[in-house]
Amino acid sequence: MLKSFTFDTFKLSRSATKQIFGIHQHYCALNYNQSHGQRVEVRKALEGWYEKLKDAGVGDIEFNLKCLVAHVLKRKFSTLKSYKTEEFTAEQHSEFSRLCEARCARMPLQHILGEWDFMDLTLKTAPTVFIPRPETEEFVSKVIEEYRNVKQPIDMLEVGCGSGAISLAILNALPHVTSTAIERSKVATTLAWENAKSLKLSDRFTPYNHTTSKNNYLPKELADRKFDLIVSNPPYVRTEEFPLLQPEVTLYENLNALDGGQDGLQIARLVFDLACLHLRPGGKLWLELGSEHPPLVKTIMNLKYEGRLRFISSYIDQYKRDRFVEIEKV
């Protein structure tokens, strides 16, 4: 019995030794590669990740992988044409694998990168701060075109500025605009201010941490202010639609920045009331809403705000959905 035990233990030891020796060789090689600058072609580093991301349910995988490669290489996305022929250092290869694992866990790409391009700007991002969507760029472009040829100064208010994307893109395009913004999240308010400073737009941008509510629409400092223009991308997702949202949203984003209540217009109604009090006659209110909302907003304007606000028009996005609303103060 003793001989048998000794022999089995010896066999196990030989197997374990091979494993340990193999691990030792791997790490020795890794350390050697890092210290001697050995490079890995991106094409090789991509192997297996397309399938893993697909299994995790990630969409537009090619775009995701290219964004991660650009980030690791510290290159602009637009400068990487045939990116698979680029090369990683061993350290960059390790970082790329770590970021791919995070994306497989459905962490939003914007949070992984810590920044995101919006219009012509690169904005810092942060967990729990709402990530601006591509359609919002269309919304902002619409507003910019409306005011591009206006000569006089424009005093703008943004309700719910998040990272500052909308205000800062408008300020960047229109030097005659100044923006005041309110945001209920302290983290987002701080982030918006940091973005304004890094983009050298802070001299025309003033954010306030404030939660808009009935009869408390603006901070006390702004109680008597009137604005030429109000813009907002308020929460517009109906509460019942939350189970249908992607994991990137439900797991990582601030759901308060999305919840529009039973009909998706809970916050928008507060913005309507705010506009009645703080928009100059002839001034415009621009909103980005859900595709089912523009007809409903038109009805609300006619029934509740006649003589105060007038529905001008709604506009479609790139997917042919009616999304953007223009309203005028009477």
Distant-in-sequence, close-in-space partners of 119: CB < 8 Å, separation ≥ 6? 137, 140, 141, 165, 169, 172, 173
- What per-residue confidence (pLDDT) applies to 253? 66
**Model pLDDT for residues 54-108, shown as the tens digit of each residue:** 999 999 999 999 999 999 999 988 788 888 989 999 999 999 999 999 999 999 9
pTM for the full predicted model:
0.80
Q: Please, are residues 269 and 236 in contact by the beta-carbon 8 Å criterion?
A: no
Q: Which residues of 38-60 are buried (b: 16+ CB within 10 A; e: fewer)?
A: eebebeebbeebeeebeeeebee
Mapped onto helix, strand or coil, the DSSP state of residue 128 is coil
Residue 215: predicted pLDDT? 92
Termini Cα distance of the chain: 99
User: Which segments of the chain have a pLDDT < 50?
Assistant: 1-36
- 3-state DSSP call for residue 209? strand
Amino acid 24: pLDDT = 42
> Which CA distances in Å does 91 have to 23, 45, 73, 170?
18, 12, 11, 39
* Residue 118, strand partner residues: 121
- Compute CA distances 255 → 232, 235, 249, 293, whole Å: 17, 9, 8, 20
The amino acid sitting at 12 is L
- Rounded CA gap, 112 and 265, in Å? 31
Strands (E), 139-214: 154-159, 177-183, 205-209
